[in-house]
Amino acid sequence: MSHLNQTVSAFNLRRYEDAARQAAEGLATAQGRDEAFWMGILETCEGFALLTDQQMLKAERKLVGAMEKLRNFGFRYNNFEVTASLAGTRRCVEEIRLTRQVKNKLFDVSLLPQMRLAAKADD
């Protein structure tokens, strides 16, 4: 199983630290444009790990950085649905900001996104 598949699988199980480890392995072997892609994926995973540790400000900063990197990759990159990931991350950043502003508001975990790989056509 590729690093991307393992990263997506761990992320979708909300095992964000495992997903970050897989993304770090993907980043370690990446070159050129793939390096920026993997850095964005890694920061996304790290951001959600921080979020689950209730570190809202750090999570927000990490997720904003991830979005800045990934937004340059269009709709899909390396079989990864970039646009869907960005939309889910953006919703969570907005919820983090709202949670930080409103006293006693809890983060709505139903907003935690899923990562998606592009569907492969049947041969």
State pLDDT tens for residues 92-113. Answer: 999 999 999 998 888 988 889 9
Tokens of 47: 């951001």
Tokens of 12: 């979708």
* Angle between helical axes of 33-52 and 3-12 (0-180°, round to 10): 20
Question: Could you say which DSSP state residue 122 is in?
Answer: P
pLDDT band at 89 (very low <50, low <70, confident <90, very high): very high
CATH number for the domain formed by residue range(s) 3-102: 1.10.3450
* Residue ranges covered by each domain of the chain: 3-102
Residue that wins the pLDDT comparison between 38 and 109: 38
- pTM for the model: 0.93
What pLDDT, on a 0 to 100 scale, did the predictor assign at position 57?
A: 95
